[in-house]
Structure 1
Amino acid sequence: MSTMSEKATIQPRPSTAPPRYTIVLTSAISLALGVALASFSLLHSSSNAAGNHHPAAHRVGRLPVMGYNTWNAYHCEINQTLILETTQLIKSLGLSDIGYNYVNIDDCYSEKQRNANGDIVADKVRFPMGMRWLTDKIHSVGLKAGIYSDAGWYTCALYPGSFQNEERDAKLFSDEWGFDLLKYDNCAVPYDNYTRENIIGRYTRMADAITAQSKASGKPPMVFSLCDWGNQQPWLWAKRLGQSWRTTGDIGPNWASVANIINQNSFYSWATDFYAHGDLDMLEVGNGDLTYEEAKAHFTVWSFMRSPLLIGTHLASATSETLEILKNTEVIAINQDPVVGTAVTPFRWGVNPNWSNNASHPAQYWSGESQNGTIVMMLNVLDEPADMFFNLTESPWIRAGRQYSVRDLWSHTDNGTAVRNISVEAVPPHGVVALLLRDAGDEPEGLEPRCAVRDWCIDKNGTLLYGN
């Protein structure tokens, strides 16, 4: 959940020229990159470039969920008509064609009290046809449906929670109502002397109930999405219970909130993998006062960290720029990589010393693996345009002595071959550069220095060339 956000659109993109790339061969030689349209799609590429080694290449695991969640755009103002309209928009706008296939109902869908049998009851005014009718409609167009509950007495909006009713509610949500996903929040926590257990115990109750219900019904278990706001180090334990775990508090529709979430995740994005994905909360693309460049950065970070991608936008008024960002298939391909499930991690903080905790100026230089090469993300966290630069071997996923082709995942262009370094001029304020680097063979002979990383660079005869 988060506070109610006002209906808004992305601010128009600036009229300034896009960032300009430079390949740096050595400290004395540089070459302006050319721009050429690419003819391949990452979504359909299955071959690995020479030299890209992935120890987990044999693993095909659970991918991050993609879809829609009602909270950020509508808060409690939901009903069956709105849900069906949103379902149809996901289809008609082409969002379902690229993977957005969950329609998730958040808080406020039920009556304030359980019925005489102890069951949660759908609000009779907002959902007069009932939840089974609604999920059947969603399923009939090829999409899946998600529902919401809480590990406490009540939900965050003070509707019935599931504490002490886990088995009953798991059966209701899955078998009787037909939902495919359960978002599970952490409000209205019972007293310690009543539960005699920690947050792990309360979430384990529902995880066990979902597993038991699946075995009893013979149906696949509901996707279990833990919404615990980053409390009590969930990156260490939540992966045992569900498919995703919230890494922070709620997102807001502004750059300050996005930057703060990026900063917090810089310290534990390493924990994401196929077993469970760190959930950075819903996408605010198209909401609030995010500029076009800020929205691109927001979407890139969520995608590269392999977070669930759940739209929180008023789709009925989504602009072409909002849809352009949400439908960037090259960036989505990183999020939905079936071979590599790990998130990007920082290799240099940039404006701050490494490992700095700074809510407004998070780490700037990130990298990670993908089935098609090394991914690099550069964030300009400043309020003005900035030139950005990194040595290739600062990323642990780059091989020394090799050169790399450069693919820009936002301009959708192939931008030449990089040797040793890459620099980008005039990255917009709060903007992003998203690159895919593919091994392109040995770097040219005769480059100096002989070692890109100079620590203990030594000749085979024992002569120490560089380092201590």
Structure 2
Amino acid sequence: MMLRDAKLFQEWGFDLLKYDNCAVPFDSVIKEGMVGKFTRMAKALANVAKDAGKPQILFSICQWGREEPWLWARRLGHSWRTTDDINPSWGSVTDLLNRNSFYAWASDFYGHNDMDMLEVGNGQLTYDEAKSHFTAWALMKSPLVIGTHLQGASQETLEILKNREIIAINQDPIVGTSITPFRWGVNPDWTWNWTHPAQYWSGKSQNGTVFMLLNTLDKPADMTFTLTESPWIRAGRQYSIRDLWTHTDNGTTVRNFTAHAVPPHGVVALLLKDAGDEPEGTEPPCARPEWCMKEDGTRIDQ
């Protein structure tokens, strides 16, 4: 059965199979756990591709995050759903973002956390909420499956979906890893909160360090961070700033950055590139004073 289906998918020219966990037969019929269910189809797709001498169909494993697929699914498929279904509301976006923040590390070139389809252009999402949704999904390297009716899409919806600078991070051919939180912001770090997930994120790209600042509040907010809070930033250097939504180069920053008046449920997406040594005489001698040592061997933070 599996091999016959796989051959049909190959003959029909499909390039992706989303294989859902719905309608599972009785245990006495299938006699498999979650891994075994998907292993059958994975083997069938691989065998059909080998026999036909063609690339394997992309295998999207859809089992809603049961049994922690980010730990095992990369051996079988190319992406794996990590949560229950999304819906076009801000609460759903923050819920899924919160959950995925704790296993964002699992996305790389060998497979991707699938945070479900994009709801940009659907429901009651505001323009800023839709931007935040698209930014988070793209920079976390989730598959970008458009879930709205394009013929009736507004210009704002198309503007979001066609942001080439954001998409370029998602499709980076050199760096496959996701952005991850470096500070939760509203909550203490590592706090599970489906309404107020992590706010400060960073990650690598082939062209610099990516930052995502997410305002989960219902009012505008200034958002400030020290550059070296990100593990991908070097100390003692200044960085040029590229805004991935305004598509502007915004000078350079030294040590700290503040995004002013980020809209409610809004986002700031930045690409920072090393622009050389920071100016001589910049004080204090360390941007983060903990265990910063004077020449005489004493700490400046005590």
Report TM bin, short chain.
Answer: over 0.9
Residue 300 of structure 1 aligns to a residue in which SS? helix
Which AA in structure 2 matches 1:168? R
Q: Is structure 2 residue 156 aligned with structure 1 residue 310? A: no
Q: Is structure 2 residue 30 aligned with structure 1 residue 171? A: no
Which residue in the other structure is 1:384 paired with? 219
Summarize deviations over 1:28-54 as a string: whole Å, max 9, x none.
xxxxxxxxxxxxxxxxxxxxxxxxxxx
Which residue in the other structure is 2:180 paired with? 345
Summarize deviations over 1:55-107 as a string: whole Å, max 9, x none.
xxxxxxxxxxxxxxxxxxxxxxxxxxxxxxxxxxxxxxxxxxxxxxxxxxxxx
Residue 191 of structure 1 deviates from its aligned partner by 3.1
Partners of 2:25 and 2:187 in 1: CA distance: 41
Summarize deviations over 1:427-458 as a string: whole Å, max 9, x none.
11100000000001111111222112222211
Alignment of 1:85-100 (within 5 A): none
Residue 358 of structure 1 deviates from its aligned partner by 0.6
Which AA in structure 1 matches 2:101? S
Partners of 1:341 and 1:377 in 2: CA distance: 17
Which residue in the other structure is 1:79 paired with? none
Residue 189 of structure 1 deviates from its aligned partner by 2.0
**Unpaired runs of 5+ in structure 1?**
1-164
Alignment of 1:428-439 (within 5 A): 428-439=263-274
Residue 313 of structure 1 aligns to a residue in which SS? coil
Q: Is structure 2 residue 130 aligned with structure 1 residue 295? A: yes
Partners of 2:240 and 2:47 in 1: CA distance: 49
Partners of 1:462 and 1:255 in 2: CA distance: 51
Alignment of 1:351-430 (within 5 A): 351-430=186-265
Q: Is structure 2 residue 283 aligned with structure 1 residue 453? A: no
Residue 441 of structure 1 aligns to a residue in which SS? strand
Q: Is structure 2 residue 83 aligned with structure 1 residue 242? A: no
Residue 195 of structure 1 deviates from its aligned partner by 2.9
Which AA in structure 2 matches 1:345? T
Q: TM-score, length-normalised on structure 1?
A: 0.63
Alignment of 1:208-223 (within 5 A): 208-223=43-58
Residue 424 of structure 1 deviates from its aligned partner by 1.3
Partners of 2:182 and 2:297 in 1: CA distance: 30
Partners of 1:203 and 1:287 in 2: CA distance: 31
Q: Percent identity?
A: 68
Summarize deviations over 1:196-221 as a string: whole Å, max 9, x none.
32111100000000001011111111
Partners of 2:87 and 2:113 in 1: CA distance: 18
Which AA in structure 2 matches 1:456? W
Q: TM-score, length-normalised on structure 2?
A: 0.98
Residue 167 of structure 1 aligns to a residue in which SS? helix
The number of equivalent residue pairs is 302
Partners of 1:191 and 1:349 in 2: CA distance: 43
Partners of 2:52 and 2:166 in 1: CA distance: 37
Which AA in structure 2 matches 1:190? P
Higher relative contact order (CA 8 A, sep 6+): 1
Summarize deviations over 1:8-41 as a string: whole Å, max 9, x none.
xxxxxxxxxxxxxxxxxxxxxxxxxxxxxxxxxx
Which AA in structure 2 matches 1:423? T
Match of 2:101 among 237, 260, 266: 266
Which AA in structure 2 matches 1:270? W
Summarize deviations over 1:325-349 as a string: whole Å, max 9, x none.
1000011110010000000000000
Partners of 2:26 and 2:192 in 1: CA distance: 33
* Rg larger in structure: 1
Residue 287 of structure 1 aligns to a residue in which SS? coil
Residue 460 of structure 1 deviates from its aligned partner by 4.4
